[in-house]
Structure 1
Amino acid sequence: MEEEGISTTMKPLLSHTEKHFTAGEVVRDIIIGVSDGLTVPFALAAGLSGANASSSIILTAGLAEVAAGAISMGLGGYLAAKSEADHYMREMKREEEEIINVPDTEAAEIAEILSQYGLEPHEYGPVVNALCKNPKAWLEFMMKFELGLEKPHPRRALESAFTIALAYIVGGLVPLVPYMFIPIARKAVLTSVVVTLVALLFFGYVKGHFMGSRPVRSALQTAFVGAIASAAAFGIARVVQA
C-alpha cells in the first residue's frame, strides 16, 4: 500500500530522527580551558599557601595568573585553529591544481577510494563520472576522503580563542573564591581544595559524558590529575621555604 507515492516500508525511515553530537570542537576548547583553569591557579594558590602567604597576596597572584593564562591559552587556541585553516587552504589549492593538471590520476584515486568501501567498478563508475563533471564536488570529495580534512569554519580561530579564554577564566576563579572570603590562607586553602575537587569531579563527569567515555572514570581521573598538580606545587613551596 502506498500513500502519495511513499511506500509504507519507507515511513519508519522518514520518521526516524538521528541524534549525533556535532559540537566536538567547542567542547574540546571548553575542556582545554577549564582543565587548565582549574588546575593551574589551584596549584599556584596551594603552593603560595604552603609558603605561608596571606590570602590577599594569593588572591592577587591568582587573579593575575588567571588573566595571563586566559590570554595565553586564548592566543594558543587562535594560532592552532589558524594553522589548521591555513593547512586546509594549502592542501585544497594543491588538490585543485592536481584535478586540473592530472585529472585522470585524480579520477583513478576516486575509484580507489570507493573500492575500499566494497564497491565494484560497475557500481562506483557512475559516481566517478558524476564527480568528474562537478569540479567543486570533486574537490570537496578529495579533501574529505583522500586527505581526511574538513573545511574549517571561517570564524573558527576567533571562536576557539574566545571559548578557551572564557573557559579558563571560569575554571580559574573556582579555586580562588575561598581566598576572597577567608583571610587566613591556611583555612582558605582547605576550602579551596574541597571546592576545586568537587568542581574537578563534576567537570570530569560532564566531560566523560560528552566525549563518550565512562563519566565516573573520567571524573576520578580529572580529579586525580588536579590533586597531583596541587600537591606537587604545595610540596615544592614548602621545600623551598624550608
Structure 2
Amino acid sequence: MVVMSPSATPDEREGRSAAPAQQAPSREQVRRWRRYLADERAEGAVYRHLASRREGEEREILLGLADAESRHEQHWRDLLGDQVGRVGKGALRTRLLGWLARTFGGVFVLALAQNAEARSAYADDEDATDAMAADERVHGEVVRALATRGRARMSGTFRAAVFGANDGLVSNLALVLGVGATGVPAGTVLVTGVAGLLAGALSMGAGEYVSVRSQRELLEASIPDADAHDSIPALDVDANELALVYRARGMAPAEAEEHAAGVLAQVHAGEGMPPSAVVHAYEEIGNGWSAALSSFCFFASGAVIPILPYLFGLSGLPAVAVAAAMVGLALLGTGAVVGVLSGAPPLRRALRQLAIGFGAAAVTYVLGLAFGTTMV
C-alpha cells in the first residue's frame, strides 16, 4: 500500500515528481495504527455503554462522542488498507473502562474517561490529523463537563464516607502504633485503639452535627421575612424602597431601580406579584442527626482496621506489620477514589494518601519508641 504524504505537491500526487513516492508503512507504523484502531473502537464502546444507561441530552452527547471515535477508527482503517488484520481489543485500561461502563456507569467511569482522553498521543503523531488531535482535546472537556454534572448530583454523604474513613484509618493507626511502640502489653494497645475509635467517631459525629446545625441556623437567619412580600402593594411608588432590597442583594443601582419599578408597575396594574419579588429560595441543608450518625459510622469503619490484628490475638511487631499493611491497602483505596472524584490520576492520589497516612503513623511510632526507651 502506498500512503502519500499530506504535504505532497500536485505533481507528487499524480506520480510525476522526480522524487519517489513515500514507501509502504513500516512494521512499527502498522503496529501503532492497529493499536490506535483498537483503542478507538474500545473507547467508542465505552461511550455507547454509558449512553445506554442514560436518557435525554446526556445520552445524545455520549452517542455523539461514540460517533466521533468511529470517525477516528475509520481514519486508521483507511491508512491500514488491506493490512488491517484482526482488530485487537484495545489497551488494558480501555478494556477495564469498558467493563466498568457496562457494569456500573456513573461519575467514576466518566472521570476515568476524562483522564483517558487527556492521554491522547495524536498531537505528537504525524499520522494523526490535526482535527483528530483537536477532537480528543475537546472530547476531554465534554467528558469533564458530564463528570462535573455527575459530581454535582452525587450525595455529599459519599464524599463524607471517603474522608471520614480516611481520618479513622490515619488517626487510629498513628495512635495504635505510637502506644504499641512504648512496649506496653497488647491488651493495653487494644483498649487504647478502641478508646481512640470511640473518641474519634464521637468527636466526628458531634462536630458534624454542630456544623450542619450552625449552617442551617445561619441560612435560616438569611431567609427574607415572608410578611415583607405582603407589604409591596402599599409601597410609595415614587420613593421605591423596594430598590434598596435588590441593591442589598447585589444588584447595581440602576438595575435595582429598574427591576423594582417593574415589580411595582406589575403589582399596581393588578397583575399580581412575581413569586421572587422579595422571597427567594435557599439551598436545603441536610439533617444534623443523620449527618452526625453518618460521620460516626464512616470514621469508625476506618478506625477499626488498625485494631483488627490485636482483636485476633496478635502482638508486637507482627501486629504492627499486619495493621500497617491493612491500613495501607485501605489508604490506597480511599486515595484512588478521591483521585477519581477529582478527575486526577487515581494512582498518584492513592500513593499520596498512602505517604501522608504512613508519614503520620511513622512519626507517632518513633515518638512511642523514644518514650518507651525513656521509661525503661
User: How does the TM-score come out when normalised to structure 1?
Assistant: 0.74
Q: Distance in 2 between matches of 1:229 and 1:77?
A: 24
Corresponding residue of 1:20: 150
CA deviation map 1:92-147 (0-9, x unaligned)? 1479869968422334577948x9xxxxx8xx97xx759x9334575326x5xxxx
- Partner residue in 1 for 2:244: 105
Alignment of 1:47-196 (within 5 A): 47-93=178-224, 102-107=241-246, 112=251, 129=263, 133-136=273-276, 139-140=279-280, 143=282, 150-153=283-286, 155=287, 157-196=288-327
Q: C-alpha deviations, 1:73-101, integer Å up to 9, x for none?
A: 10000000100000000111479869968
AA of the residue aligned to 1:104: A
| 8 A contact 1:204–1:223 mirrored in 2 | yes
Q: For the Cα contact (< 8 Å) 1:29–1:160, is it kept in 2?
A: no
In structure 2, the residue corresponding to 1:20 is in which secondary structure?
Answer: helix
User: What RMSD over aligned residues (CA atoms) do the two structures have, in Å?
Assistant: 3.2
Query: Per-residue deviation at 1:56?
Result: 2.1
Separation in structure 2 between the aligned mates of residue 108 and residue 236 of structure 1, nearest angstrom: 58
Shift of 1:23: 2.8
For 1:231 and 1:99, the matched residues in 2 are separated by 64
Higher relative contact order (Cα pairs below 8 Å, separated by 6+ residues) = 1
* Matches of 2:277 and 2:161, distance apart in 1: 33
Alignment match, 1:201: 332
In the aligned structure 1, how far is the partner of 2:328 from the partner of 2:173? 10
Count of aligned positions: 210
Q: CA deviation at 1:203?
A: 0.9
Given the alignment of the two structures, is residue 222 of structure 1 paired with residue 263 of structure 2, yes or no? no
Is this contact kept in 2: 1:32–1:164, CA < 8 A? Answer: no
Q: TM-score, normalised by structure 2?
A: 0.49
The answer to whether the 8 A contact 2:201-2:295 is kept is yes
Aligned to 2:170: 39
Q: Deviations over 1:155-211 (max 9, x none)?
A: 2x1121111100011000111111222432221101111111111011111122224
Once the two structures are TM-superposed, the CA of residue 213 in structure 1 deviates from its matched residue by: 3.4
The one-letter code matched in structure 1 to 2:285 is P
Structure 1 stretches of 5 or more lacking a match?
A: 1-13, 116-120, 144-149
Distance in 1 (CA, whole Å) between partners of 2:345 and 2:226 is 40
Amino acid at match of 1:193: A
Between 1:33-42 and 1:211-220, the stretch displaced more is: 211-220
Identity among equivalent pairs (%) = 22
Q: Which stretch of the first structure deviates more once superposed, 55-64 or 230-239?
A: 55-64
* Distance in 1 between residues matched to 2:318 and 2:250, nearest whole Å: 68
2 CA distance for matches of 1:192 and 1:111?
Answer: 54
Show CA shifts across 1:6-55 (max 9, x none).
xxxxxxxx832375232352133223321210011100111122111222
Partner Cα separation in structure 2 for residue 96 and residue 87 of structure 1:
20
Greater percentage in helix: 1
Q: Is this contact kept in 1: 2:164–2:302, CA < 8 A?
A: yes
State the secondary structure of the residue aligned to 1:61: helix
Note the C-alpha offset of 1:61: 1.2
